[in-house]
């Protein structure tokens, strides 16, 4: 189904990733934004809690990565401080995901040595494609700042969220990334949550055939240009083992209102497994995502079956034609 040198990046046992949404505010209004103010609030994590929450999730016995996100995280004036604080605490890698606007002189205030990756979101190789999804003028600002970041010595990666609206242009990204000096290319599948769920998810989603036909080829092309490409596995091949990251790894998706999810697919619902209250991490009781992780079904991911059943197909006997993998399971193609 995929080129021979596509490698599935299995969850490492004990791996810990902290996805820290430091605010939910954003200067943009992308058509496929997954931030849901009803569930995630409109707060900004104050400086004091940035420190306390980073300390709360750091574990000196286990390697932990932190990814700062928003909203637009660079709108938070204390983000450079949070980056330095995370490094000092011993997080093994620190990443910032940005829409490219880099507010508050971000490049001038952060030392490239303190940030492992600065990741820009761009959804098209031209203003026509990208700005239709992310807003007028975004392509120009984002790509200009991306090139400034490369010139300033930052490790730059790029996230392209693939949907019906931009899949035909994905391959055009590779020469641009190569020219700009981008080191990692994250190809992300559109999630049916937030605005996408409200605006008719079926208009956005790809078929399995489209995904399998196009994505691995573009990833291979990127690898041939010296860029590491990472993309979700999505469909398991016959005989491949299904694993739920909620069971075998530790991923914490933290929101400013104190909700902590372990599965990003659950973020539109008040079923978060944990919450932060008075700077303590508390396991929620009652019906939470945690209960769903332990269910074994022939279709693979339980939450995909509940929320996105249109992703599934069955044979005449009612058996699923393929399993849907955990959305956190990735494949990687690295340069030879
Ligand atoms: S940049 Fe991110 S947070 Fe802001 S509107 Fe777009 S998808 Fe949402
Ligand atoms: S996406 Fe599915 S398999 Fe992955 S953590 Fe969520 S419930 Fe588990």
Give the residue, by CA position, lying nearest to ligand 1 atom 3: 71
Q: What is the pLDDT of residue 213?
A: 87
Q: Which atom of ligand 2 is nearest to the CA of 325?
A: 3
pLDDT of residue 336: 74
Q: How far apart are CA 49 and CA 315, in angstroms?
A: 51
Please give the pLDDT value at position 12.
63
Q: Give Cα 270 distance to the centre of its chain.
A: 20
For the CA of 32, the nearest atom of ligand 1: 7
| Res 28 pLDDT > 80 | yes
pLDDT at position 2, please? Answer: 38
CA of 244 to the centre of ligand 2 (A): 5
Q: Is the dihedral of CA 282, 283, 286, 289 positive or negative?
A: positive
CB 5 within 8 A of CB 239: no
25 lines ligand 1 (CB under 6 A): no
pLDDT of 6 > 90? The answer is no
- How remote is the CA of residue 97 from the centroid of ligand 2, in Å? 22
- Distance (angstroms) between ligand 1 centre and the Cα of 26 equals 6
Burial class (CB in 10 A: 0-12, 13-18, 19+), 63: middle
CA 309 and chain centroid, separation: 21
Does 234 sit in the ligand 2 pocket, CB within 6 Å?
A: no
pLDDT in tens, 189-248: 876 555 555 555 566 777 778 888 899 999 999 999 999 999 998 888 888 889 999 999
Residue 248 tokens, joined:
């075998």
The Cα 122–Cα 114 span in angstroms is 24
Name the percent of the chain lying above pLDDT 90. 72
Mean pLDDT, rounded, of the chain = 91
What is the per-residue pLDDT across 179-206, written as a single tens digit (0 to 9) for each?
999 999 999 987 655 555 555 556 677 7
């Amino acid at each position: 189904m995929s080129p021979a040198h596509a490698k599935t990046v299995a969850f490492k046992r004990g791996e810990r990733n902290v996805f820290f949404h430091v605010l939910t505010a954003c200067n943009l209004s992308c058509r496929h934004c997954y931030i849901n103010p009803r569930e995630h609030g409109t707060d900004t994590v104050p400086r004091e809690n940035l420190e306390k929450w980073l300390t709360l999730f750091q574990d000196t016995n286990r390697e932990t990565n932190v990814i700062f996100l928003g909203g637009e995280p660079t709108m938070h004036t204390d983000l450079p401080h949070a980056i330095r604080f995370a490094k000092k605490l011993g997080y093994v890698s620190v990443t910032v995901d940005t829409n490219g606007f880099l507010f508050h002189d971000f490049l001038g205030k952060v030392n490239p040595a303190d940030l492992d990756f600065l990741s820009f979101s761009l959804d098209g190789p031209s203003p026509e494609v990208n700005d239709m999804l992310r807003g007028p003028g975004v392509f120009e600002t984002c790509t200009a700042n991306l090139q400034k970041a490369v010139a300033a010595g930052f490790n730059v990666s790029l996230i392209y969220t693939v949907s019906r609206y931009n899949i035909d242009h994905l391959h055009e990204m590779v020469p641009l990334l190569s020219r700009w000096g981008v080191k990692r290319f994250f190809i992300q599948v559109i999630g049916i949550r937030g605005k996408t769920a409200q605006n008719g998810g079926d208009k956005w989603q790809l078929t399995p055939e489209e995904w399998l036909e196009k994505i691995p080829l573009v990833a291979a092309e990127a690898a041939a240009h010296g860029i590491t490409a990472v993309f979700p596995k999505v469909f398991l091949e016959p005989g491949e083992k299904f694993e739920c990251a909620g069971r075998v790894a530790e991923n914490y998706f933290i929101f400013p209102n104190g909700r902590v999810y372990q599965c990003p697919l659950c973020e539109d619902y008040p079923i978060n497994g944990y919450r932060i209250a008075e700077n303590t991490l508390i396991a929620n009781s009652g019906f939470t995502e945690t209960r769903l992780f332990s269910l074994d079904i022939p279709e693979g991911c339980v939450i995909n079956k509940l929320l996105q059943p249109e992703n599934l197909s069955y044979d005449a006997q009612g058996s699923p034609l393929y399993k849907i993998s955990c959305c956190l399971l990735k494949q990687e193609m690295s340069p030879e």
